[in-house]
Structure 1
């Protein structure tokens, strides 16, 4: 990382918004990961544009040299940390509001639960599924997050982002290339800033009933008492990842402080004191053992950041 980066960032942002050697275990739901060289908080679109312009001028590349963090709910940062800049959107990017009847405008850093609650409070239905999905809207858009039969694809009207040349673009739902746990943002290195979510009028009591029902399902079936990144593996076509893992005899399988959840085999959890390398090695072991047992290759949903041993 270039030595003059801090000085140039401090010319654009308040110094308290630029943190050196920030421990990433504080910013991921796995609660593991080493320090990032710089952790930068950006709370408005003007500052974001200036910082991204600086990165382009310095030849910094997304993911390799800087990473835009959501809620850290799908991220595994190496124990050695990240030799780059973590960009954390906050302030105006964390806001969500009713744009017009049946339309919610949500910033990329708005939490999924906040958007679902706003919809409920305004008797809007369609996004109940997102109430229990950890993370932010930006991350949910990248992954086309979903649960219990709902997914972002069903409710997103458009997404606003900044492209690789620094231009603001608005992508309609037809342009987002949503698929199972994927979107156009898996291919394009765009910085998502927000979206419009289109819902339907509904009954507030019924919306709340559905949300409570889904909450109870999560509590009863998922290991919410331990740090994790939610479902660790994508669902292979024709199979369920958790069932394949259980059938391979891996319920409770442990590497260091990381464990295949005894409650739900689709979750890798931090039972206490886990290192990022424990999680990484456990994921690799599960992939190998499931393939040996069933011939199915599991693909992780988790994004890796930093250097992991091969």
Structure 2
């Protein structure tokens, strides 16, 4: 069944404004490059998400899920299946005492801000991370000494057959940039977090400090996916890349950031192939010089 037929089958369940054939994924990813998806589905709420997953599973149609696209790169050839975009409409949040309940489409920075407004501490590290909450849980996002695993109590998710699953923190198998969701194909639909009570002014001050630090040391003015490589055990990826003499190296429109060697940036007009070729060149050169193989943190589709 082609994607036009899937489009027609989804129309009774998804608002037409949420269905896009041949969708340019550069508009939905922070690298601002890459090919098109045969069909992009943007559910306006959890009920539409459930309906889409049920139909796609029934029709045996391949699909992937993305959030804010801040850690994703689509190859120039594009994606022949369906991309489910979890964002606006699946972004409700509420606070009860020290507990925050939130849907996966909300931006992580918005969750951090909401915590600060309620004098809750523990998410300051997340204030400048550009991803969605769902994506942050999926990869156990972290920065400046904090990680999602530090605050999560439990999650709700659905399997591709529509069955719901509640998971306690100890069953999420959190590791460095890793969670159980990378292995089980479940789709996160809710996150429950517990934070400590703190001083609102101190929380706000810490958030400002970290954002200033990020803006001073990271190439935030260029499209990128943040730190491109995972941190190798006992090393720092950026330092290995810099020591290999690769800082500022470019392939086409892609460049190893002169500001921070751990970032690959799109200087303008970079194709996904430019970024991937530069990634491979960095990997090989660093391995030849240090014996350490760098693995990408970015999801390449």
Q: What range is the shorter-chain TM-score in?
A: over 0.9
Q: Give the corresponding residue for 1:44.
A: 45
Q: Equivalences for 1:231-246 in 2 at 5 Å? A: 231-246=227-242
Q: Secondary structure at the match of 1:291?
A: helix
Q: Give the corresponding residue for 1:76.
A: 73
Q: In the TM superposition, what is the alpha-carbon distance from 1:91 to its structure 2 partner? A: 4.1
Unaligned runs of 5+ in 2: none
Q: In the TM superposition, what is the alpha-carbon distance from 1:80 to its structure 2 partner? A: 1.7
Q: Give the corresponding residue for 1:193.
A: 189
1:32 pairs with 2:28: no
Moved over 6 A (4+): none
Q: Secondary structure at the match of 1:87?
A: strand
The 1-side partners of 2:293 and 2:88 are apart by: 41
Q: Is the 8 A contact 2:67 2:87 kept in 1?
A: no
Q: Give the corresponding residue for 2:156.
A: 160
Q: Secondary structure at the match of 2:294?
A: coil
The 2-side partners of 1:220 and 1:250 are apart by: 21
Q: Give the corresponding residue for 2:132.
A: 136
**Pairs aligned (count):** 300
Q: Is the 8 A contact 2:43 2:89 kept in 1?
A: no
How large is the RMSD of aligned CA atoms in angstroms?
Answer: 1.0
1:53 pairs with 2:71: no
Q: Secondary structure at the match of 2:42?
A: strand
Q: Give the corresponding residue for 2:259.
A: 263
Q: In the TM superposition, what is the alpha-carbon distance from 1:132 to its structure 2 partner? A: 0.8
1:96 pairs with 2:93: yes
Match 1:123 to one of 119, 133, 151: 119
Q: Give the corresponding residue for 1:86.
A: 83
Q: Give the corresponding residue for 1:308.
A: none
The 1-side partners of 2:136 and 2:198 are apart by: 23
TM-score between both structures, scaled by the size of structure 2: 0.98
Q: Give the corresponding residue for 2:217.
A: 221
TM-score between both structures, scaled by the size of structure 1: 0.95
Match 1:249 to one of 230, 233, 245: 245
Q: Give the corresponding residue for 2:147.
A: 151
Q: Secondary structure at the match of 2:281?
A: helix
**Alignment deviations for residues 252-281 of structure 1 (CA, whole Å, 9 cap, x no partner):** 010000000000000000011111110011
Q: Is the 8 A contact 2:53 2:160 kept in 1?
A: no
Q: In the TM superposition, what is the alpha-carbon distance from 1:109 to its structure 2 partner? A: 0.6
Match 2:205 to one of 197, 200, 209: 209
Q: In the TM superposition, what is the alpha-carbon distance from 1:105 to its structure 2 partner? A: 0.9
**Alignment deviations for residues 132-169 of structure 1 (CA, whole Å, 9 cap, x no partner):** 11110110001000000000000001111002331111
1:178 pairs with 2:174: yes
